[in-house]
Amino acid sequence: MRTPLIAGNWKMNGSLALVEDFGRALAEARLPRGVEVALMVPAPYLAAAVSTLAASEVAVGGQTLNDQPSGAFTGEVSGAMLVDVGARFVLVGHSERRTLFGEDDAAVLARVRAALGVGLIPVLCLGESLEEREAGRTEAVVLGQLAAVFDALSPDERSRLVIAYEPVWAIGTGRTATPEQAQAVHAAIRTRLADYAPALAEGLRVLYGGSMKAANAGELLAQPDIDGGLVGGASLKVDEFLAICQSAG
Ligand code: PGA
């Protein structure tokens, strides 16, 4: 049995006040048993989120990391720094990092390795653009992004990742993949994971992301190969985010 994971991705949004609101609300909320919850907040808020959320068992994660351990990289954040402030997860290869900040498959792999090296759980994001979907290339693109990382890792390293399938055309657009569209890609990812090892396919969590909200989370999470959500816009409203967590229970 895979433990569902609902991860909020605040992107470059939020404030210290919002961190505190979430801390209060999540400490009081009855999160469903057997569901893991995490919040990926902007780097300046990580330490506050870790201490504010300590009472609620909600984990905290970074949104990116540099692949180098330290050095003259102005503005960057290392995996060791994320660990130092109490983060457990880190997003790697989010489509905004790939398209806006030029992170290619090699850069994504280097960051996954850096995260694993310091004991963070990388949430590896995969997804096709609208153009790629319309050209019938969805599986080729997504499985290619997967292979670019997984082919280079050891069996033990592979077992320590979480995958997030996020069709780029559904991110922040209000246009969600239908449960059937999402399930088809999730199943293809799982079949590909089984080529590495059946136990890997059985154990690894594959989250869906792209305009997930309280109103559509239930039907997405009911799909057999969808093991949770990576939630952007809807993770900035505490009631909406809590409702999504409830539908994973
Ligand atoms: P969205 O973002 O839920 O706002 O579409 C998801 C993501 O980019 O992780």
pLDDT tens-digit map of 68-114? 999 999 999 999 999 999 999 999 999 999 999 999 999 999 999 99
- pLDDT for the residue numbered 156: 98
Please give the average per-residue pLDDT across 164-171, as a whole number.
95
Q: Choose, from 94, 96, 103, 128, the residue flagged as catalytic.
A: 94
- pLDDT for the residue numbered 115: 98
Q: Report the separation in Å between the CA atom of 72 and the middle of ligand 1, taken as the mean of its atom positions.
A: 31
pLDDT digits (tens, 9 = 90+) for 6-30: 999 999 999 999 999 999 999 899 8
Q: Report the separation in Å between the CA atom of 64 and the middle of ligand 1, taken as the mean of its atom positions.
A: 15
Q: Tokens 């068992």 map to which residue?
A: 57
186 catalytic? Reply is: no
- Concatenating the DSSP letter of every residue in the chain gives -PPPEEEEE--S---HHHHHHHHHHHHHS-PPTT-EEEEE--GGGHHHHHHHTGGGT-EEEES---SSSSSS-TT---HHHHHHTT--EEEES-HHHHHHS---HHHHHHHHHHHHHTT-EEEEEE---HHHHHTT-HHHHHHHHHHHHHTTS-HHHHTT-EEEE--GGGTTSS-PPPHHHHHHHHHHHHHHHHHH-HHHHHH--EEEESS--HHHHHHHHTSTT--EEEESGGGGSHHHHHHHHHHT-
pLDDT class of 229 with cuts at 50, 70, 90: very high
CATH of the domain at 174: 3.20.20.70
Host domain of residue 118: 5-247
Query: Is the model's pLDDT at 172 over the cut of 90?
Result: no
Rounded Cα distance between 20 and 54, Å, is 12
Give yes or no for a contact between 78 and 69, defined as CB atoms under 8 angstroms apart: yes
Q: Report the separation in Å between the CA atom of 54 and the middle of ligand 1, taken as the mean of its atom positions.
A: 25
Q: Please tell me the total count of domains within the chain.
A: 1
Rounded Cα distance between 93 and 124, Å, is 6
For residue 147, give every residue at least 6 positions away whose Cβ sits within 8 Å of its Cβ, in sequence order, or none: 192
For the chain, what percent of residues have pLDDT higher than 90?
95
Ligand 1 atom index nearest CA of 213:
3
Pocket test for ligand 1, best of 95, 231, 240 (most atoms within 8 A of CB): 231
Rounded Cα distance between 211 and 235, Å, is 10
pLDDT class of 1 with cuts at 50, 70, 90: confident
Give yes or no for a contact between 53 and 83, defined as CB atoms under 8 angstroms apart: no
pLDDT digits (tens, 9 = 90+) for 120-142: 999 999 999 999 999 999 999 99
Q: Report the separation in Å between the CA atom of 117 and the middle of ligand 1, taken as the mean of its atom positions.
A: 27
Q: Report the separation in Å between the CA atom of 71 and the middle of ligand 1, taken as the mean of its atom positions.
A: 31
Q: Is 231 in the pocket of ligand 1 (CB under 6 A)?
A: yes
For the chain, what percent of residues have pLDDT higher than 70?
100
134 catalytic? Reply is: no
pLDDT class of 175 with cuts at 50, 70, 90: confident
- pLDDT for the residue numbered 176: 87
Give yes or no for a contact between 168 and 95, defined as CB atoms under 8 angstroms apart: yes
Rounded Cα distance between 82 and 86, Å, is 6
Query: Is the model's pLDDT at 150 over the cut of 90?
Result: yes
Q: Is 210 in the pocket of ligand 1 (CB under 6 A)?
A: yes
- pLDDT for the residue numbered 58: 96
Query: Is the model's pLDDT at 216 over the cut of 90?
Result: yes
- pLDDT for the residue numbered 137: 98
Rounded Cα distance between 239 and 26, Å, is 10
Tell me which residue has its CA closest to atom 2 in ligand 1. Answer: 232
pTM exceeds 0.95 for this model: yes
| Average pLDDT of the chain, as a whole number | 97
Supply the Cα-derived Rg of the chain in whole angstroms: 17
Ligand 1 atom index nearest CA of 212:
3
Tell me which residue has its CA closest to atom 9 in ligand 1. Answer: 232
